């Protein structure tokens, strides 16, 4: 029964917070961290075994240096484990004089810088303190306290400088990542506002032009009817272009398809206030009567619909009106009924299906599937289907506290 229209597009009304882009301060993936930690600890163990079993010499010094380099590299992926492994290597060098080298000190300071960049300040402070301690003591030789105060102070200054530099760089990179994520989120919000404006304002206006032009064409003849039909065709083409632009803007957003609609999302600034649903349904019934339909109304009053508002109710009513004008049997009544319970307000619109479509050209350019999307933006549900020769559309809106009918208010529509 519904006219052929464009397929619905994904709804990006609700988005999760933007994820900051990976930076130098971001931790490595879990699998890489585990592999690097295992490699660092294994390197330290192998170096310890080799130092105990093999005689000292140029080959042992080369192996020891390569082990230090490997552990420093592993520190990029598993900083804490690499610091522990390098502490073991420092003790190996302290116990074997032939293995001692200035490169070991440089490697320890470089690892301190890497650890402070890749981990939180508290963790990196502990790791750097461990490196500072084990570079001065010899646990195997019984030297558990640094012997030279000047050396201890100088080493402390070096490691503290490395830790401070790495921590400051980490803070800077983290701040930039957060700022970038916030900026990206603002861009997505502006994109979403633009899409909603196109969908809710421009599309609604074009729909109104189509309906009025089609109504003029149906009630006129000759040149007037032809001109009205041309205006409707131009408006439909403009509607197609708007829909294509909406698709482009939504598809250009990163991974927004399938996002869950957030009915509590705030409306964009400057958005038109929602029309009372009672007024929109009354206008729908009046429009159908003007085309010769018999409309039976029930429940369209403030007691049932009081306090219920829907941002896109006018667009949805236009689509429902168009379908009824095209496909409904004008000899049989159209029923528009509203009921309210504790959880929701349900508006049911039912009509008999005619044997033949009245006007194949008439369309709002929206379609019932897109009408479902529009009401979904407001947290409501639109269902439709047919049984035998009856077509029924149900609009289910979450209930809000009903506004009691005012004695001075509008009279109830029977």
Span 6-46, pLDDT tens digits: 333 344 333 444 444 456 777 778 888 888 888 888 887 87
Q: What percent of the chain lies above the pLDDT cut of 90?
A: 14
Q: Summarize the confidence of residues 215-238 as an average pLDDT.
A: 81
Mean pLDDT of the chain: 76
Asked if 104 and 93 touch (Cβ cutoff 8 Å), the reply is yes
**Which residue shows structure tokens 């012997």?**
147
The pTM is what?
Answer: 0.48
pLDDT beyond 50 at 272: no
Looking at the DSSP bridge assignments, the partners of residue 391 are 351, 386
**pLDDT at residue 267, as a whole number:** 42
pLDDT digits (tens, 9 = 90+) for 249-270: 766 653 333 333 333 344 443 3
Q: What percent of the chain lies above the pLDDT cut of 70?
A: 78
pLDDT digits (tens, 9 = 90+) for 104-134: 889 999 999 999 999 999 999 999 999 999 9
pLDDT beyond 80 at 365: no
Q: Quote the distance between the C-alpha of residue 126 and its chain's center.
A: 38
Of residues 351 and 97, the one with the higher pLDDT is 351
**pLDDT at residue 112, as a whole number:** 93
Q: Count other Cβ atoms within 10 Å, centred on residue 132.
A: 21
pLDDT beyond 80 at 391: yes
**pLDDT at residue 125, as a whole number:** 94
pLDDT digits (tens, 9 = 90+) for 288-335: 888 788 999 888 888 888 777 777 787 788 888 888 887 888 889 999
**pLDDT at residue 161, as a whole number:** 94
- How many degrees, rounded to 5, is the angle at CA 187 between CA 185 and CA 193? 105
Q: Nearest Cα to 210, choosing from 231, 224, 240?
A: 231
Q: Count other Cβ atoms within 10 Å, centred on residue 227.
A: 14
pLDDT beyond 50 at 382: yes
């Amino acid at each position: 029964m519904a006219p052929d229209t464009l397929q619905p597009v994904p709804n990006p009304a609700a988005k999760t917070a933007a994820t900051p882009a990976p930076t130098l301060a971001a931790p490595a993936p879990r699998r890489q961290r585990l592999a690097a930690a295992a490699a660092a600890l294994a390197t330290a163990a192998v170096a310890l075994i080799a130092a105990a079993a093999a005689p000292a010499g140029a080959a042992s010094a080369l192996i020891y240096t390569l082990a230090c380099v490997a552990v420093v590299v592993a520190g990029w992926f598993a900083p804490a484990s690499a610091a522990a492994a390098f502490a073991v290597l420092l003790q190996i060098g302290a116990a074997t004089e032939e293995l001692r080298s200035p490169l070991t000190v440089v490697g320890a300071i470089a690892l301190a810088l890497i650890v402070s960049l890749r981990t939180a300040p508290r963790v990196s402070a502990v790791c750097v303190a461990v490196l500072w301690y084990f570079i001065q003591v010899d646990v195997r030789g019984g030297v558990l306290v640094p012997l030279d105060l000047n050396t201890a102070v100088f080493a402390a200054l070096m490691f503290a400088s490395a830790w401070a530099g790495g921590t400051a760089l980490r803070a800077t990179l983290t701040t930039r990542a957060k700022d970038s994520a916030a900026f990206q989120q603002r861009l997505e919000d502006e994109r979403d506002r633009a899409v909603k404006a196109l969908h809710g304002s421009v599309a609604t206006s074009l729909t109104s032009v189509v309906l009025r032009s089609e109504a003029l064409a149906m009630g006129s003849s000759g040149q007037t009817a032809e001109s009205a039909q041309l205006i409707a065709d131009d408006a439909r083409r403009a509607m197609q272009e708007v829909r294509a632009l909406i698709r482009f803007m939504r598809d250009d957003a990163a991974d927004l398809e399938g996002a869950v609609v957030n009915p509590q999302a705030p409306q964009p600034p400057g958005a038109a206030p929602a029309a009372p649903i009672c007024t929109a349904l009354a206008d729908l019934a009046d429009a159908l009567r003007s085309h010769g339909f018999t409309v039976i109304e029930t429940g369209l009053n403030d007691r049932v619909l009081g306090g219920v508002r829907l941002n896109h109710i006018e667009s949805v009513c236009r689509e429902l009106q168009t379908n009824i004008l095209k496909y409904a049997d004008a000899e049989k009544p159209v029923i528009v009924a509203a009921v309210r319970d504790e959880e929701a307000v349900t508006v049911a619109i039912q009509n008999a299906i005619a044997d033949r479509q009245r006007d194949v050209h008439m369309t709002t350019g929206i379609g019932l599937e897109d009408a479902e999307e529009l009401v979904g933006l407001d947290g409501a549900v639109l269902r439709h289907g047919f049984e035998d020769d009856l077509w029924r559309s149900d609009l289910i809106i979450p209930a809000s506290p009903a506004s009691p009918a005012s004695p001075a208010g509008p009279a109830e529509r029977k």
